């Protein structure tokens, strides 16, 4: 069955690492032109570009999507270069900072939650105008936990925002969904779970990895994002899909 993705244009925030980069790779394989966005790490962005550039049309767009003006520049640059945005994957994010301070609360809210507002406001009119579009926001299984950290609260907010946006945009043939990963080994987890502990962590916390080799990697999330961006998922909107190997039901 055709995925219906060939020739589409995608903006992937946080596209230079982890879930975003893996999604970019799968999209390129399906003939999607991809803009990978990031905020800080220029070296990693260069490496991502080098890794992906032979697979199809890739551009790199720097900008903090938690800041409205910068998000606007990011979206404008993608539209200038690609002509439109058919798919938005919002995967930009940071981990919960160690210290619970007002400054850190603010930082997490900006990156994770304000960014949804910024991107939703900026990309929706483009998609409404063309009467088609897909928006996929990466949340977290933390959104479903009983937890007062800024990270969990922001992630829950992402799901709430996405459901509201899905309702608003449905008459324009635009699907909006969230994906909620469990712990999956991307660079984000490196400071928390060292490489040599990945297998043990997975065995103890992720039901699908009990008695099985290896540990979950970014491709698991990228495949679900690809599905949601495709024609296969055209009747799904306002939904949240946990991709956690059963970690949530385990806790």
Ligand X SMILES: NC(=O)c1ccc[n+]([C@@H]2O[C@H](COP(=O)([O-])OP(=O)(O)OC[C@H]3O[C@@H](n4cnc5c(N)ncnc54)[C@H](OP(=O)(O)O)[C@@H]3O)[C@@H](O)[C@H]2O)c1
Closer CB to ligand X, 219 or 236, in the complex:
219
Closer CB to ligand X, 68 or 132, in the complex:
68
Q: Which of 38, 114, 151, 209 is catalytic?
A: 151
Closer CB to ligand X, 96 or 175, in the complex:
96
Sheet holding 58-62, edge to edge: 58-62, 33-38, 9-13, 87-90, 133-138, 174-181, 240-243
Which residues in this chain contact ligand X in the complex, by CB under 6 A? 13-14, 16-20, 37-41, 44, 64-66, 91-94, 111, 138, 140, 181, 183-184, 186-189
Using CB positions, name the residue nearest to ligand X: 18
- 18 CB contacts (<8 Å, ≥6 apart)? 91, 186, 187, 188, 218
Cβ pair 136, 88 in contact under 8 A: yes
- Least separation in angstroms between residue 155's CB and ligand X is 7
Q: Please choose, from the candidates 98, 79, 80, 97, the residue with its C-alpha nearest in 3D space to the C-alpha of residue 88.
A: 79
Closer CB to ligand X, 45 or 174, in the complex:
45
- Least separation in angstroms between residue 171's CB and ligand X is 29
Closer CB to ligand X, 41 or 130, in the complex:
41
- Least separation in angstroms between residue 49's CB and ligand X is 12
Distance CA 55, CA 7 (A): 14
Q: Please choose, from the candidates 24, 92, 33, 85, the residue with its C-alpha nearest in 3D space to the C-alpha of residue 63.
A: 92
- Least separation in angstroms between residue 218's CB and ligand X is 6
151 is catalytic: yes
- Least separation in angstroms between residue 123's CB and ligand X is 14
Cβ pair 22, 222 in contact under 8 A: yes
Please, how many CA atoms are within 13 Å of residue 200, restricted to the half-sphere of its CB?
A: 5
Cβ pair 230, 3 in contact under 8 A: yes
Q: What positions carry a catalytic annotation?
A: 151
């Amino acid at each position: 069955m055709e995925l219906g993705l060939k020739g589409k244009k995608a903006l992937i925030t946080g596209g230079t690492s982890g879930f975003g980069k893996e999604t970019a790779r799968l999209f390129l394989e399906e003939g999607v032109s991809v803009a990978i966005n990031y905020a800080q790490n220029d070296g990693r962005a260069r490496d991502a570009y080098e890794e992906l550039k032979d697979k199809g049309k890739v551009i790199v767009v720097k900008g903090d999507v938690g800041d409205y003006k910068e998000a606007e520049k990011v979206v404008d640059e993608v539209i200038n270069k690609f002509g439109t945005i058919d798919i938005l994957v919002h995967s930009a994010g940071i981990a919960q900072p160690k210290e619970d301070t007002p400054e850190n609360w603010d930082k997490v809210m900006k990156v994770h939650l304000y960014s949804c507002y910024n991107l939703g406001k900026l990309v929706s009119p483009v998609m409404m105008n063309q009467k088609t579009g897909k928006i996929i926001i990466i949340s977290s299984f933390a959104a479903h936990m009983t937890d007062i950290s800024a990270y969990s609260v922001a992630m829950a907010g992402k799901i709430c925002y996405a459901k509201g946006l899905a309702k608003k945009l449905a008459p324009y043939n635009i699907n909006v969904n969230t994906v909620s990963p469990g712990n999956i080994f991307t660079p984000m987890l490196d400071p928390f779970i060292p490489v040599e502990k990945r297998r043990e962590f997975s065995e103890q916390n992720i039901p699908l990895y009990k008695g099985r080799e290896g540990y979950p990697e970014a491709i698991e999330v990228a495949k679900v994002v690809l599905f949601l961006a495709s024609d296969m998922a055209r009747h799904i909107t306002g939904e949240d899909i946990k991709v956690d190997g059963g970690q949530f039901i385990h806790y």
